[in-house]
Amino acid sequence: MMNDTKKYIGKNVIVPIANRVIPIIADEYVEMEFGTGCLKVTPAHDTNDYELGKKYNLESIDIFHANGTLNAFGLHFENKDRFEVRKLIEKELDEKGYLVKTEDHINKVGFSERTNSVIEPRLSLQWFVSMKELAQPALENVMNGNIQFYPEKFKNTYRHWMENVKDWCISRQLWWGHRIPAWYYGSDTNDFVVARTLEEALTKASEKSGKRITEADIKQDEDVLDTWFSSWLWPISVFNGLTKPNNDEIKYYYPTNDLVTAPEIMFFWVARMIIAGYEYLGDLPFKNVYYTGIVRDKLGRKMSKSLGNSPDPLDLIQNYGADGVRVGILISSPAGNDLPFDSSQCEQGRNFTNKVWNAYRLVSAWEVKEFEQPESSKKAIEWFESKFNKTLHEINDAFDKFRISDALMLTYKLVWDDFCSWYLEMIKPGYEQPIDSKTLSSTKFFFGQLLKIMHPFTPFVSEELWHLLEQRQPGEDIVISNWPKTNNYNQEILKQFEYMEKVVTNIRKC
């Protein structure tokens, strides 16, 4: 603040037209570079101004009716619409000699995403949940690692929110939702009771007021609960944990293992579910939280219907296949990081599924005969068995650490490079020559194991090929089959193959 303006702090000014005396205060909230560097504080009609009003004990004057017209505090503009009054005030200020100048000014005005109407903040009576004490167990058990976040970097955001948690406004002025379980029985706003039913409310109201309250004397609050108020109970309510405490399902399933969600609802949903878990059941609701990234367009904007920057998923599926789209997006989406979408990623996914289909066509086209297994095929089988088990160890580790894209990339390389490009070429019989039964049997076994580890990423293709690869009985679907078990592997043969691979690759380059 400039020295020549400090002299005004603590003095009073008169609001034109209203002739109301208000004090001059100084606060770091005001941005000196924004506008004139002076701010008219309206505690009843701005969230930040409301906090300033509480800080400096300023009067909160609500000048609006609920329909957006001015009330009695609007003086001679009472019952006129706010947009009309703004024009009338400008005219009156000019007529009375108060108006110095008018100029266009860019302001921060909120608009409703549903109606595109200007949002007019207005002080009103609402219901709040006191959060500071409730939030402590939820903060402690994430920071001490009882609940794990993946990626871990989101713990910092979580801690910042929870250490600065504010009371939760749970009432909403909507026509649908769970009604606030509060009933009013008098003219004062404190003349209310909270009850489960109307009958219970009548009893409580009669006791509280000291007189008999009838149904005609009482009225339930018209507000409904915030949608997150029901959502924060989700891990409990899906097992009827509140309505039927200690039932078999809640005892068996609670707490669950993993929650997959987006980081932008970390506080709205994740934190509140954790709070509810410790408050109502005394335990965490889940052990791990995996935060996905956001798919954005090439300009970095979040894809949305309003921007019209989202591709039609049905068109993508038509062009690249459902599994191709899934692989294309996942393979370039590291945990927790946003993904700039490009259709070329889906093309890569489609090429992968095509590669697997072509591998199946090759294997299924071979003629099989009984003859001694070639040494080259024995070596190829020994190598790929070790390669598969080594990679499976790495895939399982990636899944355990919620590194989904890493698990997919390991699967992708094992299938494309190791199985299709090397193993099949090593055991492939000569042109129009048969393959021995042992080699074909091992190859089909490997193919089936690969389809299992592909299944989380390509459920449609892997399920189809699973049934084409061998005759299956009803119910022998890949989706309910066991995940492959990891076995020991021969590190020496893997080293030998790496050397051989380099030799062959360099020869091909010559």
Reported as a single tens digit per residue, the pLDDT across 390-441 is 999 999 999 999 999 899 999 999 999 999 999 999 999 988 899 999 999 9
β-pair type (368-369, 435-436)? parallel
**Tens of pLDDT, residues 96-143:** 888 888 888 777 788 877 788 888 888 888 999 999 999 999 999 999
Dihedral angle computed from the Cα positions of residues 320, 325, 327 and 333, in that order, rounded to the nearest 10 degrees: 140
Asked whether the predicted pLDDT for residue 246 surpasses 70, the reply is yes
pLDDT given at position 349: 94
pLDDT given at position 231: 94
Which residue bears the tokens 């692989």? 327
128-180+221-291 CATH: 3.40.50.620
Residue that wins the pLDDT comparison between 5 and 103: 103
Helix (H, G, I), strand (E, B) or coil at 288: strand
For residues 261-278, average pLDDT: 94
Nearest to 401 by CA among 335, 458, 450, 337: 335
pLDDT given at position 280: 95
Dihedral angle computed from the Cα positions of residues 20, 82, 124 and 179, in that order, rounded to the nearest 10 degrees: 170
For residues 181-190, average pLDDT: 88
pLDDT tier at 223, thresholds 50, 70, 90: very high
Q: What sign for the dihedral angle of Cα 303, 309, 312, 316? A: negative
Coarse DSSP helix, strand, coil percentages of the chain, rounded to the nearest 5 percent? 50, 10, 40
pLDDT tier at 94, thresholds 50, 70, 90: confident
Distance CA 25, CA 10 (A): 6
Residue that wins the pLDDT comparison between 466 and 38: 466
Asked whether the predicted pLDDT for residue 4 surpasses 70, the reply is no
Distance CA 314, CA 396 (A): 32
Distance CA 291, CA 262 (A): 5
β-pair type (286-291, 256-261)? parallel
pLDDT given at position 289: 96
Where in the sequence of the chain do the CATH 3.40.50.620 domains occur? 128-180+221-291
pLDDT given at position 320: 95
Residue that wins the pLDDT comparison between 272 and 42: 272
Amino acid letter for position 219: K
Helix (H, G, I), strand (E, B) or coil at 107: coil
pLDDT given at position 255: 95
pLDDT given at position 335: 65
Neighbour count for residue 110 (Cβ, 10 Å): 10
Amino acid letter for position 91: K
Amino acid letter for position 46: D
**Tens of pLDDT, residues 319-375:** 999 999 999 888 877 766 778 888 888 999 999 999 999 999 999 999 999 999 999
3-95 CATH: 3.90.740.10
Q: What is the CA radius of gyration of the chain?
A: 34
Asked whether the predicted pLDDT for residue 10 surpasses 70, the reply is yes
Where in the sequence of the chain do the CATH 1.10.730.10 domains occur? 351-509
Residue that wins the pLDDT comparison between 65 and 325: 325
Distance CA 317, CA 330 (A): 15
β-pair type (182-184, 192-194)? antiparallel
* Contact between residue 379 and residue 387 where contact means Cβ atoms under 8 Å apart: no
pLDDT given at position 34: 66
Where in the sequence of the chain do the CATH 3.90.740.10 domains occur? 3-95
Distance CA 289, CA 398 (A): 15
Whole-model pTM: value is 0.78
**Tens of pLDDT, residues 299-313:** 888 887 777 888 888
The CATH class of the 351-509 domain is mainly alpha
Nearest to 8 by CA among 22, 20, 19, 18: 22
Residue that wins the pLDDT comparison between 86 and 443: 443
Asked whether the predicted pLDDT for residue 5 surpasses 80, the reply is no
Report residue 179 as tokens: 């009604």
pLDDT given at position 399: 94
Residues sharing a CB contact under 8 Å with residue 297, sequence separation 6 or more, in sequence order? 303, 307, 309, 310, 340, 341
Q: What is the mean pLDDT of the chain?
A: 90
Sheet holding 192-194, edge to edge: 192-194, 182-184, 219-220
Residue that wins the pLDDT comparison between 96 and 259: 259
